[in-house]
Amino acid sequence: MKPLELNLNWDKTFLKSDQVDHRKVTFHNRYGIELAADLYEPKNRKPKEKMAAIAISGPFGAVKEQASGLYAQELAKRGFLTIAFDPSYTGESGGTPRYVASPDLNTEDFQAAVDYLSTNDEVDPERIGILGICGFGGMALNAAAIDTRIKGTVTSTMYDMSRVNANGYFDAQNSKEDRLAKKQALNARRTQDYLAGAYARDGGVAAQRPEDAPQFLQDYWDYYKTDRGYHPRSGNSNGGWNETVPLSFMNMPLLTYINEIDTPVLMLHGSKAHSLYFSKDAFARLTGDNKELKIIEGANHTDLYDNMDFIPFDEIAAFFTRSLAAADK
């Protein structure tokens, strides 16, 4: 695998905490793609201590210098070893062509992060959790359904990327005819891409704030296109995903076996988020008495990316303290 070129400067969208140590790390998934991550750990860590660890990724189209890194740093301040990683084909991680996603590939990325943590001398392999934001909330649930090494899972402002790609927002295009039209357009794009020898991208978040668009699209602009959350390596901040990415999500649904997750799950979502129905419906499919859906009053979808007034970091830390401690017994 070709060594990754990593920026060792602090280029995050959030301020660096003096309560944690930070360094870049890399690991590979089972498809041979090298992934880049930021590792955070508390400065007061005891020498040779085996720590509980959390792997974090998302939002969909974002990079580790954005929301996932903020979550990682905040949870490290609360006593965990954390990694925020770039998914395959994205950010500083490897893989070509760039800006590709799929339900299998990105579920595997979470499992690869668990591979890395399970073999890290600083980590207790029986105390590993994962946290997924936005579209990677769905990937996190998918990973929890297949990977028994994961002892606790948190999703924040979750998207079901299979559902939204197949059915449109709010299931408004949930018909054979609508899906056929999408498939025809996407497969025509495949032909055009092949002839061009390059992959067209979907444009990401609009260049100008879309004042006449639904509020949630304006909220995305307020995060990805301003100093609040813009990052030059982020697909959503810039050119977006390859246009043909929806095909795999339409054909291979996420969350098929989440009813079989027997480890603890905490799902967080804002009461004003357009995407709340994804978490409500996924939560309804979970079984057992160790699952919780916490609806955060007044928060919209992107508030749970970085708004410290809404993100319940102490509650997230308490959840992982309980679930990962219980896993070790």
- Compute the distance between CA of residue 296 and CA of residue 132 in angstroms, rounded to an integer: 17
Task: Give residue-wise pLDDT tens across range 170-221.
Answer: 999 999 999 999 999 999 999 999 999 999 999 999 999 999 999 999 999 9
pLDDT score for 329: 52
- Compute the distance between CA of residue 158 and CA of residue 281 in angstroms, rounded to an integer: 11
Task: Give residue-wise pLDDT tens across range 95-109.
Answer: 999 999 999 999 999
pLDDT score for 327: 57
For residues 40 and 20, the answer to whether their CB atoms sit within 8 Å is: yes
Question: Which residues of the chain fall below pLDDT 70?
Answer: 1, 326-329
pLDDT score for 160: 98
pLDDT score for 326: 64
Task: Give residue-wise pLDDT tens across range 228-255.
Answer: 999 999 999 999 999 999 999 999 999 9
CA distances from 71 to 133, 293, 308, 320 (A): 9, 19, 10, 13
Phi, psi (rounded to 5 degrees) for 102: -160, 155
- Which of 172, 181, 166, 140 minimizes the C-alpha distance to 265? 140
- Which of 126, 125, 160 minimizes the C-alpha distance to 141? 160
DSSP string, 104-143: HHHHHHHHHHHHHHHT-TTEEEEEEEEEEETHHHHHHHHH
